[in-house]
Amino acid sequence: MSQKLFVPILLGTNRRDRSSEHAAKWVYSKMQEREDIEPAYFDVRDFKLPHDHYGMEIGGDFPEWRDAIIKADGLVIVTPEYNHGYPGVLKSVLDLLLKEYIHKAVAFVSVSAGPWGGTRVCEALLPVVRELGLTVTFTDLQFPSVRSKFDDDGTLLDSAYEKRVKGFLDELVWMSTSLRWGRENVPSKYHQT
């Protein structure tokens, strides 16, 4: 299993002036630096969701996302915490697919304006990703008081995150590698062996 792990990253908010974009782009750059990860960057702003209907029935209308998740070994979700929860548009994009996620790893990057770093949004996402068949890593990457972590150009101001992102990505690689081995070697009704 020497080939790189394919791991898309999804920025999960479409708000203006979103501080989470700096975190998403920084984590993506760290993924690009690694020899064991082939990342792809997705932004919920780029999904032209209909206003009257969405869900798995229209997943085929987003072939780039569908094909990326079919190929994926893992997924990184970057999300702010809004009123103790996740953005609705993030849930809408995740709901475009179902079976494509099964037995793949997912890791959370959360941001908040306050001191808790999005802890509650990670907790709120657990039942969602579990229902999708994703397996959550135990190492989240959280950015409390996110506006103090990056300058206006998105440059990281807190060097402690260099060590944190390494541990975060190491765990994601371990989990993604284990699950890829399982998908390839353990019979399941959810995927080809």
Model pLDDT for residues 135-146, shown as the tens digit of each residue: 999 999 999 999
Q: What pLDDT shows up at residue 193?
A: 44
Element (H, E) at 106: strand 104-111
Name the domain count of the chain: 1
Q: Is residue 192 part of a domain?
A: no
190 part of a folded domain: no
Quote the pTM value: 0.94
CATH code of the domain covering residue 90: 3.40.50.360
For residue 148, what is the DSSP state? Answer: G
What distance in Å separates the CA atoms of residue 14 and residue 29, rounded to the nearest whole number? 20
| CA distances from residue 81 to 46, 116, 119, 124, 179 in whole angstroms, order as listed | 20, 10, 8, 10, 28
DSSP per position, 125-139: HHHHHHHHTEEE-S-
Return averaged pLDDT per consecutive 10 residues of the chain, 193 residues in all: 89 93 97 98 92 69 93 98 92 93 97 87 96 96 93 94 97 98 91 58
Segments forming the whole domain that contains residue 55? 5-185
Is 191 domain-assigned? no
